[in-house]
């Protein structure tokens, strides 16, 4: 679809910016418990999709001499999380794609073409509901950000591009801490992932989620995960009292 749009040269749409935010899919599991074909599928959607979209966008920008390409990475682009091996690998690839592409553009003299990688914290979207899951528990994450925070970051950086953009204080803090203390940051992050993706969530059966086919449930933007987690914690406290 993006390639078809890029091929249209009729002047009826603004080519200054293309957001290459192709659909992403998630997978929560121990690496050795996950079917290889599911892991390959995550890489195919989350990394190869960006390669196709970026290729189409950059060729438009090269013809006109300017433009801003915005790719959606993740805090996983900088700090890979346990139980998200293929997802973390794909998001690290998106980050490297942007950095390497920026250097190629610089070397070839394209001063007015910018590549931005947005790196948000985990957001309260249907991503968690749609993820493949082989952990035995309901996947979630600590202190989810509202989706509007990510949207605002995209809008700001479309006007003031920067190569890497951690979104919000949580992502920025982890991003900076990892630069100074990489192993400690990865260890703490893994422990948090273990708590919220393995131990804390209510038990659920294994599922491939939406990595192969769309799911009818959870078609909105904000999925109310934070509210469900609060309700769950309240119920657990009440049960402990009795």
Tally of domains within the chain: 1
Helices 168-180 and 182-194: crossing angle, nearest 10°? 130
Confidence of residue 136 (pLDDT cuts 50, 70, 90): confident
The CATH number of the domain holding residue 197 is: 3.40.50.720
Q: pLDDT by residue (tens digit) across 198-211?
A: 777 778 899 998 89
Please give the residue range of the domain that contains residue 6. Answer: 2-241
C-alpha 162 chain-centroid distance: 18
Q: pLDDT by residue (tens digit) across 171-193?
A: 999 989 999 999 999 999 999 88
Residue 36's alpha-carbon distances to 43, 65, 88, 212, in angstroms, are: 11, 42, 15, 14
Whole-model pTM over 0.75: yes
Question: In angstroms, rounded to a whole number, what is the distance separating the alpha carbons of residues 9 and 15?
Answer: 10
Residue predicted with more confidence, 34 or 196? 34
């Amino acid at each position: 679809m993006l390639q078809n749009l890029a091929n249209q040269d009729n002047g009826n749409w603004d080519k200054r910016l293309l957001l290459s935010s192709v659909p992403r899919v998630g997978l929560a599991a121990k690496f050795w418990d996950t079917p290889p074909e599911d892991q390959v599928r995550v890489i195919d959607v989350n990394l190869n999709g960006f390669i196709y979209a970026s290729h189409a966008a950059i060729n438009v920008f090269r013809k006109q001499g300017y433009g801003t390409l915005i790719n959606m990475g993740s805090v996983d682009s900088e700090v890979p999380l346990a139980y998200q091996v293929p997802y973390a690998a794909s998001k690290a690839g998106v980050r490297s794609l942007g950095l390497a592409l920026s250097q190629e553009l610089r070397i070839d003299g394209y001063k007015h073409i910018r590549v931005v990688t947005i790196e948000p914290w985990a957001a309260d979207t249907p991503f968690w509901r749609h993820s493949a899951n082989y952990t035995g528990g309901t996947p979630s994450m600590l202190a989810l950000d509202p989706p509007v925070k990510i949207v605002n970051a995209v809008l700001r950086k479309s006007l003031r591009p920067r190569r890497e953009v951690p979104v919000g204080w949580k992502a920025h803090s982890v991003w900076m801490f990892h630069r100074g203390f990489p192993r400690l940051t990865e260890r703490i992050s893994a422990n948090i992932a273990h708590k919220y993706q393995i131990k804390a969530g209510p038990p659920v059966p294994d599922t491939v989620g939406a990595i192969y086919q769309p799911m009818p449930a959870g078609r909105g933007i904000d999925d109310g995960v934070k509210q469900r987690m609060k309700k769950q914690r309240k119920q657990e406290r009440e049960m402990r009292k009795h």
